[in-house]
């Protein structure tokens, strides 16, 4: 990453297997959506299915659908499912397959994922598997999906209570980010998405971390240029990581900073807190472990705590410590029964550790709980 946070860039090419694969474009509206899609998949004579969910549909489906209806496609359909993680399952994928079959979608036809990470993951998975793979476009509308889930080609659904258990790597043909969609996102969802943004700063981009702190007010006020620059820089971080490690065999695991304890807490608080909120707590705890192991100092932990509180991250303490530690054992991020824990050497420099013990986790969880009464 260079030292300049760019305010005027609107396109980021992503490579896969060392070859150009797809672009991420950053726009203020949907005005260029059809021409951008057309330039990568040539819409002439092809069918398009816009896949979305109820909340996002209310805001954007009509507009997006009419744009495609005015283009040269053969047919424009839409498939809308109930908003929320509970829909990210094989039953909804089955309904989508059925819709595509009934409307005679062939391998040359295209799915458009219009929504947050739930829509992106599910649509990507359907696109990866329908007729052994059709093209799809990511149109992410939540902050989390714009800065994280729409990039890198990880698609999938949950299976019973197992998150993201069934999936495939399938690259989109384009990621079209309309920054203005963030204006209809609830403040809580927006701030929760900041968890992933701050994470990039903590694990690999100190310049960005400092910039985020410096621009807290503009970010919270959704200042268009600042938010666009922030989303761009986040995507650039994710791009570098997925280009280096497309199938998550190495450095991509660093993106799980804050997730080991964060996921466990998310599960144990019955999903009453948002994912990003739990990752925020998990990040503070991971920093605490690094301090207890003598890798970073107290100041660094406080700087990280302060970053999350600036963005109104809640304190979460309503869990039993031993159960949290037990729950981390069912985390997918294990290596031969041992947890792969992401720690930091400093802000901007993360590494994978196999040395974190149950006692280390118990200590930091207890300290966090005690400090918050
Ligand atoms: N594939 C990956 O690499 C990857 C990475 C991280 C997370 N994920 C997945 O992403 C999902 C979480 O994504 P998410 O936080 O976007 O969840 P989400 O799709 O459920 O969206 C969050 C909420 O915001 C609403 N919403 C979205 N855009 C909106 C808009 N513009 N205006 C108003 N409301 C809007 C949705 O209806 C929903 O209520 C999880 O399923 C997670 O597993 C995937």
pLDDT at 6 over 80: no
Q: Hey, what are 170's tokens?
A: 């399938």
150 within ligand 1 shell (Cβ under 6 A): no
35-81: per-residue pLDDT in tens?
999 999 999 999 999 999 999 999 999 999 999 999 999 999 999 99
* Residue of 227, 120, 216 lying closest to 178 (CA atoms): 227
Confidence category of residue 171, pLDDT binned at 50, 70, 90: very high
Sheet containing 110-115: give its strands across: 11-16, 19-27, 174-178, 135-140, 110-115, 47-53, 75-81
Element (H, E) at 157: strand 154-159
Instruction: Give me the helix-helix angle, 187-204 and 275-292, nearest 10°.
Output: 30
Q: Is 99 within 8 Å of 49 (Cβ atoms)?
A: yes
Q: Cα of 320 to ligand 1 centre, how many Å?
A: 28
**Rounded Cα–Cα distance for residues 120 and 105 (Å):** 19
Q: Is 98 within 8 Å of 117 (Cβ atoms)?
A: no
Q: Which atom of ligand 1 is nearest to the CA of 154?
A: 1
pLDDT average, residue stretch 311-324: 95
Phi, psi torsion values for 140, nearest 5 degrees: -75, 140
Task: Name 319's Cβ contacts closer than 8 Å, sequence gap at least 6.
Answer: 265, 268, 269
**Rounded Cα–Cα distance for residues 264 and 269 (Å):** 9
pLDDT at 8: 78
pLDDT at 50: 98
* Residue of 80, 84, 89 lying closest to 114 (CA atoms): 80
Q: Is 318 within 8 Å of 366 (Cβ atoms)?
A: no
227-247: per-residue pLDDT in tens?
999 999 999 999 999 999 998
pTM, to two decimals = 0.96
64 within ligand 1 shell (Cβ under 6 A): no
**Rounded Cα–Cα distance for residues 64 and 57 (Å):** 9
pLDDT at 333 over 70: no
137 within ligand 1 shell (Cβ under 6 A): no
pLDDT at 96 over 90: yes
pLDDT at 336: 64
User: Partners of 118 in the beta sheet?
Assistant: none
The closest residue, in CA terms, to atom 33 on ligand 1 is: 185
The closest residue, in CA terms, to atom 20 on ligand 1 is: 84
Instruction: Give me the helix-helix angle, 206-214 and 187-204, nearest 10°.
Output: 140
Task: Name 149's Cβ contacts closer than 8 Å, sequence gap at least 6.
Answer: 116, 117, 120, 121, 140
Q: Which fold has domain 187-371?
A: Dehydroquinate synthase-like, alpha domain (1.20.1090)
pLDDT at 5 over 90: no
Mutate to test the pocket of ligand 1, among 85, 122, 145 (most ligand atoms within 8 A of CB): 145
Is residue 151 helix, strand or coil?
coil
Confidence category of residue 335, pLDDT binned at 50, 70, 90: low
Q: Which atom of ligand 1 is nearest to the CA of 152?
A: 3
**Rounded Cα–Cα distance for residues 170 and 156 (Å):** 10
- Residue ranges of the domains in the chain? 11-183, 187-371
**CATH match of 11-183 with 3.40.50.1970:** yes
């Amino acid at each position: 990453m260079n030292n300049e946070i760019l305010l005027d860039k609107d396109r980021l090419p992503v490579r896969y297997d060392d070859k150009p694969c797809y672009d991420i474009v950053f726009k203020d509206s949907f005005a260029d959506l059809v021409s951008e899609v057309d330039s990568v998949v040539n819409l002439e004579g092809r069918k398009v299915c816009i896949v979305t969910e109820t909340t996002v549909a209310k805001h954007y489906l009509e507009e997006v659908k009419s744009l495609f209806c005015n283009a040269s496609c053969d047919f424009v359909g839409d498939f809308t499912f109930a908003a929320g993680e509970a829909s990210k399952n094989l039953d909804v994928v089955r309904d989508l397959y059925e819709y595509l079959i009934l409307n005679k979608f062939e391998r040359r036809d295209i799915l458009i994922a219009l929504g947050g990470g739930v829509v992106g993951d599910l649509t990507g998975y359907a696109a990866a598997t329908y007729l052994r793979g059709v093209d799809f476009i990511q149109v992410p509308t939540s902050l989390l999906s714009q800065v994280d889930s729409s990039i890198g080609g990880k698609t999938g659904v949950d299976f019973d209570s197992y998150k993201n258990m069934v999936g495939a790597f399938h690259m989109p043909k384009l990621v079209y980010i309309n920054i203005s969609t963030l204006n209809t996102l609830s403040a809580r969802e927006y701030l929760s998405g900041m968890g992933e943004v701050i994470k990039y700063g903590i694990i690999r981009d100190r310049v960005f971390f400092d910039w985020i702190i410096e621009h807290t007010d503009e970010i919270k006020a959704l200042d268009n240029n600042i938010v666009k620059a922030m989303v761009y820089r986040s995507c650039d971080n994710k791009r570098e990581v997925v280009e280096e490690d497309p199938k998550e065999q190495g450095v991509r695991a660093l993106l799980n900073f804050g997730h080991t304890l964060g996921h466990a807490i998310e599960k144990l608080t019955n999903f009453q807190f948002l994912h990003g909120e739990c990752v925020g707590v998990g990040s503070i705890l991971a920093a605490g472990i690094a301090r207890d192991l003598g890798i970073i100092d107290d100041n660094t932990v406080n700087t990280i705590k302060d970053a999350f509180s600036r963005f109104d991250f809640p304190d979460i303490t309503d869990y039993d410590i031993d159960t949290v530690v037990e729950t981390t054992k069912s985390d997918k991020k294990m290596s031969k029964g041992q947890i792969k824990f992401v720690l930091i050497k400093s802000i901007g420099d993360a590494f994978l550790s196999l040395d974190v013990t149950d006692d280390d986790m118990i200590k930091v969880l207890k300290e966090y709980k005690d400090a918050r009464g």
